[in-house]
Amino acid sequence: MNDIILSIVAATLLILLLIAGIAITFFISSRQRMRQEQILIETKLAFERELRQVETEVSEHVMGQFANELHDNIGQKLTAIHFEIESLKLDRPHNKDEYKPLEIYLDEATQQLKLLSKTLNNEFVAYSGLHSSIQVEVNRMNHRGRDSFIVHLDADSTISVLKKEEELMVFRIFQEILQNVMKHSAAKNVFIRLRSNSEGFELRVKDDGKGFDYVEVFKQNKASGLRNILKRASLAQLECKIQTKVGEGTSYILKKSPN
* pLDDT one-digit tens code per residue, 81-133: 776 777 767 777 777 677 677 777 777 777 766 666 666 666 777 777 888 88
For residue 259, give the nearest of 202, 193, 201 by alpha carbon.
Answer: 201
**Spatial distance between the Cα atoms of 12 and 167, rounded to a whole number of angstroms:** 69
Q: Which of 120, 153, 173 represents a domain boundary (last residue)?
A: 120
For residue 232, give the nearest of 62, 67, 55 by alpha carbon.
Answer: 55
pLDDT at 72: 60
For residues 64 and 123, is the Cβ–Cβ distance under 8 A?
Answer: yes
Q: Record the pTM.
A: 0.61
Partners of residue 192 on adjacent β-strands: 153, 205
Q: Which of 88, 120, 152 represents a domain boundary (last residue)?
A: 120
Is residue 125 situated within a structural domain?
no
- How many CA atoms lie less than 13 Å away from 170 in the CB half-sphere? 32
pLDDT in tens, 12-25: 766 766 776 677 77
Domain, as residue range, for 207: 130-259
Asked whether residue 14 falls in the same domain as residue 49, the answer is yes
pLDDT at 73 over 90: no
Number of domains forming the structure of the chain: 2
Q: Which of 67, 98, 120 represents a domain boundary (last residue)?
A: 120
